[in-house]
Structure 1
Amino acid sequence: MTPPVPDQRTPIGQVRIVLVDDHAIVRHGLRSVLEREQDLHVVGEAATAAEAVDVVAAAHPHVVLLDLKLSTGDNTEGLHLCGQLTELHPGLGVLVLTTFLDGGLVVEAIHRGARGYVVKDVDTTELVRSIRAVARRESSFDSRSAAAMVESMNSPSSDPRLTERELIVLRELAHGLSNRDIGAKLFISETTVKFHVRNIMRKLTATSRAEAVYEASKLHLI
């Protein structure tokens, strides 16, 4: 008799998960949802990058569910943490779970070792599917993240280091607008504007908004 083919939907045994999010209520909600699944087991939680490094080292998870924004640092701390964790633990699967939907962020997260990227309002079924895929060392993106990534990769840009959205924010910075004014003009939150401004400053190696505008002018971006 031919032996049965193993179920390939999930890895053999339980999928060990660490949750990294600065909001305890979000972690509690995720734990409640995920542990309804027989094969998913949350083995640790962390609110900061430092905590995450320690918890992952101790818990040996298959998957880290990672928010990009952590309260103890800037809005890109999650990206730095992603790179750090995947470098320390080459077999680890990082799945970004965030409110930020930007093609440039998706691409950068991949460059830093993430295997997947989903937004926080994704439904439970798709989130569980993504976790299982990442645990099998596959890639997984929700439909909007995938579309944003493709759009970012196909969008013309005068400088490949900056995303199209970052270029738009940069031009508003050059006009002297505040984060609040930029958000109102572009119909995005002030927090999202701050996120883009920090990315712009980092990519242009600038220490202030004014210096970012100056460096951008030398590159003929504005």
Structure 2
Amino acid sequence: MIRFCVIDDHEVVHDGLRAMADREPDLEFLGGATTVPDGEHLVERVHPAVAILDLRIGERDGGNGIDLCRTLHSRYPSMSVVLFSAYGNGELLAQAIAAGAAGYMLKETSVGRVPGILREITTSGSWFEPRIASELLQRRAGGSAPGAFSAQELEIVRGISRGENNHEIGEQLHISPHTVKYHIASMLRRHEVHRRAELVRLASDLHLLE
């Protein structure tokens, strides 16, 4: 059973997700909130597996859904937080991922697709709107390549995910440890991250390690 709640200042969104859950035997709608404080209290009370947040929630008080995502992710790291927005781009997705989001859905997404998206998030750990994910990949690759990692770079990231050091990765790929180190430094710089684990997280979130 996938237990979820929604934090969105539009009651119609709550009603739509509640009706959707009523039609799906493996989904349970735990309630909705229309403000950030009420949303925090709701999550604390019902302990959902997934919390769906409006990207613009809290704007009247100088915040937004990404700020709330960061707060909830730090408090409940095992809970999946999904941003829900009428718009999106690669920069917003990058901010959402950095805040700990497990998903990013557009409000234009048909209600019929939402159950499958929630299932994907709970089984694989993440789901991001493909069009926006593609934009992020192109932006981080400088807009000149179809993907953010070359084939060899992906193999290096896979090695990192297995806990291998530069020497072990190099042996697998028949390249020197120095070359592995060079590629890792290049990826860190290009993707604007600071740790090897962040490369693994990025590639995993964008489903490049499957």
- TM bracket, shorter-chain basis: 0.5 to 0.7
Give per-residue Cα distances to partners, 1:46-102, cap 9 Å, x unaligned. 111111110000001000111101265368510000000010101010111111211
> Structure 2 residue aligned with 1:36, among 11, 23, 32?
23
1:98 has 2:61 as partner: no
> Structure 2 residue aligned with 1:117, among 104, 108, 112?
104
Give the TM-score normalised by the residue count of structure 2: 0.63
Write the distance in 2 (CA, Å) between the matches of 1:151 and 1:125: 29
The structure-2 alpha-carbon separation of the partners of 1:16 and 1:150, relative to structure 1 and needing over 3 Å to count, comes to same
Write the distance in 2 (CA, Å) between the matches of 1:76 and 1:149: 23
Once the 2 structures are TM-superposed, how far is the Cα of residue 112 of structure 1 from its aligned partner?
Answer: 0.5
- One-letter amino acid matched to 1:40: L
Once the 2 structures are TM-superposed, how far is the Cα of residue 136 of structure 1 from its aligned partner?
Answer: 2.7
Once the 2 structures are TM-superposed, how far is the Cα of residue 127 of structure 1 from its aligned partner?
Answer: 1.8
Identity in percent? 30
Give the TM-score normalised by the residue count of structure 1: 0.60
Write the distance in 2 (CA, Å) between the matches of 1:21 and 1:75: 16
The structure-2 alpha-carbon separation of the partners of 1:126 and 1:108, relative to structure 1 and needing over 3 Å to count, comes to same
Write the distance in 2 (CA, Å) between the matches of 1:48 and 1:151: 35
Asked if the contact 1:68/1:76 (under 8 Å) is kept, the reply is: no
Could you list the runs of 5+ residues in structure 1 that have no partner in the other structure?
1-13, 157-222
Once the 2 structures are TM-superposed, how far is the Cα of residue 125 of structure 1 from its aligned partner?
Answer: 3.7
Q: Residue 127 of structure 1 corresponds to which residue in structure 2?
A: 114
Asked if the contact 1:64/1:95 (under 8 Å) is kept, the reply is: yes
Specify the SS of the correspondent of 1:19: strand
- Return 133-142 or 43-52, whichever deviates more: 133-142
- One-letter amino acid matched to 1:34: A
Write the distance in 2 (CA, Å) between the matches of 1:135 and 1:75: 31
- One-letter amino acid matched to 2:37: A
Asked if the contact 2:80/2:121 (under 8 Å) is kept, the reply is: yes
Specify the SS of the correspondent of 2:108: coil
- One-letter amino acid matched to 1:42: F
- Return 125-134 or 81-90, whichever deviates more: 125-134
> Structure 2 residue aligned with 1:24, among 11, 25, 50?
11
The structure-2 alpha-carbon separation of the partners of 1:34 and 1:52, relative to structure 1 and needing over 3 Å to count, comes to same
Write the distance in 1 (CA, Å) between the matches of 2:44 and 2:140: 34
Once the 2 structures are TM-superposed, how far is the Cα of residue 149 of structure 1 from its aligned partner?
Answer: 2.1
Residue correspondence of structure 1 range 120-199 to structure 2 within 5 A: 120-136=107-123, 138-155=125-142
Write the distance in 1 (CA, Å) between the matches of 2:128 and 2:113: 9
Could you list the runs of 5+ residues in structure 2 that have no partner in the other structure?
144-210
Runs of 4+ in 1 over 4 A off after TM superposition: none
- State the superposition RMSD in angstroms: 1.8
Specify the SS of the correspondent of 2:23: coil
